[in-house]
Structure 1
């Protein structure tokens, strides 16, 4: 179990570094968007390439940040169901959901998107818009993002199994949950 926990820690570290890096792309997106708008409205100069850069940056943030979102447990879940379960029950729901849904879905998307990436690269595919950009770099984000998500799913499986088998303490068990309002204050 120690080897698996070490692998999990490596995956967590990878997704954390990627997540921290892609956050800077949000700033780049804002700068590109503002510059594009200023050029269009102040100087009547537009560029499809700069619009596509914004889309590419958004795709990179969304796809490459998904693994880190899962690592931080900030993905969408059905709280009505999970809040009624014990911590052990929640761990089982996470394991079953990861095995039955996340792993197969991410694997299928990686397998099906890779030929699209290679074909785009080999053909030198360019956007059909005037002044558009190469398409393969943004298409490459699909298998890369889902590979990071798949790895993080495997890391979460390892951590949940370690909690269930008693090899690791449950970090959520020490979480006090939402703060309750104080006696003197109203929400």
Structure 2
């Protein structure tokens, strides 16, 4: 594709992002205006559906990341054997380990957040009630997570655009010609974290308003089935 074509694609994705960013405000609307009446029921239903979409995407990429971990172990083992047993060093294999390592952590960032697997300095959170935890999660998402995601997207925009414009590859002649794809993981990770943050804030909003998503509802949302 030409430079002008990629510019149009980038502009279209940017506008799509702005047009859909209002979704992130729905949990805030739920907290401010409540979930009573027909409007509240519709909003709760919409939040539940969006939570399902967000968690399915992140869980699917988290499942993929597990296999990237297996591939990473295999590639590193091959690199070590090649270098120390056969005296051979292949740049593409070494760079492949870097790509797999980056993909493993960056694609699994959202699912790890949903599973509460990120490092937490927990002095008070574990002792809070369900509503206290929900309030902490809600404030944390809007005060810290979303601004960080916005910063990652804003700072990486030109950085990634330049890489795609020239199809940036490895500085080594025998390296992988996929640096542009590696750099694209930065905005992708920001989007996955924002989606995970939406799920956390939406669940927190429903809990704060006394209408949390129950375990059986979560199972039905993920499996697409209903219990009698």
Alignment of structure 1 residues 152-163 onto 2, 5 Å: 152-163=196-207
Match of 1:180 in 2: none
Match of 2:135 in 1: 92
Query: Does structure 1 retain, via aligned residues, the 8 Å contact 2:134–2:204?
Result: yes
Shift, 1:123, TM fit: 1.7
Match of 2:122 in 1: 79
TM-score, normalized by length of structure 2?
0.71
Segments of structure 2 that go 5 or more residues without pairing to the other structure are: 1-43, 216-228
Match of 2:67 in 1: 24
Shift, 1:111, TM fit: 2.2
Shift, 1:40, TM fit: 1.3
Segments of structure 1 that go 5 or more residues without pairing to the other structure are: 172-187
Distance 2:171 2:109 in 1: 29
Bigger helix fraction: 2
Distance 1:162 1:29 in 2: 39
Q: Is the counterpart of residue 165 in structure 1 residue 174 in structure 2? A: no
Q: Pick closer, same or farther for the CA change 1:170–1:80 going to 2, 3 Å.
A: farther
Q: Is the counterpart of residue 112 in structure 1 residue 155 in structure 2? A: yes
Query: Does structure 2 retain, via aligned residues, the 8 Å contact 1:48–1:131?
Result: yes
Aligned positions, number:
171
TM-score, normalized by length of structure 1?
0.86
Alignment of structure 1 residues 35-184 onto 2, 5 Å: 35-134=78-177, 135-168=179-212
Distance 1:156 1:121 in 2: 33
Shift, 1:170, TM fit: 6.8
Shift, 1:63, TM fit: 0.6
* SS, match of residue 123 in structure 2: helix
Distance 2:99 2:208 in 1: 40
CA RMSD of superposed structures (Å): 1.5
Give the 4+ runs in structure 1 shifted more than 6 A.
none
Query: Does structure 1 retain, via aligned residues, the 8 Å contact 2:125–2:133?
Result: yes
Single out whichever of 33-42 and 23-32 deviates more from structure 2: 33-42
